[in-house]
Amino acid sequence: MPTVLILANETIAGGALLNRIKERAEEGWRFFVVVPQTRPRHGNVIYDDVVRDSAQVRMELAVEYIRDLGAVGDGEVGDADPFNAAMDAFRAHPIDDIIVGTKPAGNSAWIKRDIIERLEDETGVPVEHVVVDVDKDGLPFDVTLVVANLTSAAPELVERLKAMADESPKPKRYVLIVPQDGTQGEHVRGARQRGRRLLASLDDAGIIAAGMIGDPDPYTAIMNAVQYFYVHDILISTLPEGSSQWVADKLVERVRASTSLPVEHIEAHVNETAGA
């Protein structure tokens, strides 16, 4: 069974690329997905765990789509340089073809860096270029960005996400962002644990979701996620007004003003006390 290497970043969920993957799957190809790590545009500090997590989520959602087609798929997070990321995978795995997904010319740094031609010259295998224009092609599913911290395991949030999946006219995918409480190792572990609890609840309900930790500042975490993913809408879960620092800081209003995306806010109750 021949293997095609899929190299893409923000375009990994684009309709044109996913349609091409579906066509290749019907032809009997297997897939190996590589998503380079992308440095965020927002925030004064770059958190390596956040950068890697975001690439991991993009890769996992693409592999999930491939496996849903009945095809064989696997993947990895690659080097920040897309050429190096592709070549690392090419050297480590038996690759027969390469597909590179980019934004349209003029918006794509990869095209400006001649990545298609460089990969053709270096690998000697066919390299197909798929241009992804989400404004034109759309996505085969809706992606909801879910932002929560202490309320990530609250029943109100889990039930709302289940209801949204049932109500959506298109298949629904969730990307969960759990901002860190700080920069120390225990804060990273705590954020991961809270995210895993919500993902486990959604998995039990048969809902496809992937999660990552985010910048300690929730606004920065959201703005970086909007850079990393094509998002249809945003759901922000907080503690009740009076207990939530996010509400006091007018997080919901700031996100609405900055993204122009639909933003839903729900309040949830937990036993812990803090400011999410």
Structure tokens at 29: 């190809």
Smallest CA-to-CA distance from 77 within 33, 115, 41 is with 33
User: pLDDT tens for residues 184-224?
Assistant: 667 778 888 888 888 888 888 888 888 888 888 999 999 98
Whether 3-136 shares its CATH topology with 141-267 is answered yes
pLDDT band at 110 (very low <50, low <70, confident <90, very high): very high
pLDDT at 202: 85
Q: Give the pLDDT mean for 222-239.
A: 90
- What's the half-sphere exposure (Cβ side, CA atoms, 13 Å) at 67? 11
pLDDT at 185: 66
Show Cβ contacts of residue 86 under 8 Å, excluding neighbours closer than 6 positions.
Answer: 5, 7, 34, 78, 98, 100, 115, 119
Please work out, in degrees rounded to the nearest 5, the angle formed at the alpha carbon of residue 25 by the alpha carbons of 20 and 30. Answer: 110
pLDDT at 240: 94
Please work out, in degrees rounded to the nearest 5, the angle formed at the alpha carbon of residue 175 by the alpha carbons of 202 and 263. Answer: 105
Q: Give the pLDDT mean for 128-133.
A: 93
Q: Give the pLDDT mean for 165-174.
A: 89
Top-tier CATH class for 141-267: alpha beta
- In DSSP terms, 131 is beta-bridged to 102
pTM of the complete model = 0.78
Q: Give the pLDDT mean for 158-162.
A: 92
User: pLDDT tens for residues 80-108?
Assistant: 999 999 999 999 999 999 999 998 988 88
Whole-angstrom distance, CA of residue 195 vs CA of residue 98: 34
Domain boundaries, the chain: 3-136, 141-267
pLDDT at 270: 74
Q: Is residue 111's pLDDT more than 80?
A: yes
3-136 placed in CATH 2.120.10.30: no
Cβ–Cβ under 8 Å, residues 66 and 73: yes
pLDDT band at 274 (very low <50, low <70, confident <90, very high): very low
pLDDT at 273: 43
Show Cβ contacts of residue 260 under 8 Å, excluding neighbours closer than 6 positions.
Answer: none
Q: How is residue 240 annotated by DSSP?
A: P
Please give the mean pLDDT across all residues of the chain: 88
Structure tokens at 244: 């939530």
pLDDT band at 182 (very low <50, low <70, confident <90, very high): low
pLDDT at 4: 98
pLDDT at 275: 46
Strands (E) in 122-208, as ranges, are 127-131, 142-147, 172-179
pLDDT at 206: 82
Whole-angstrom distance, CA of residue 245 vs CA of residue 252: 11
Q: Is residue 181's pLDDT more than 70?
A: yes
Burial class (CB in 10 A: 0-12, 13-18, 19+), 16: middle
Q: Is residue 40's pLDDT more than 80?
A: no
Q: Tokens 């740094």, residue?
A: 109
User: pLDDT tens for residues 186-196?
Assistant: 777 888 888 88
pLDDT at 77: 94
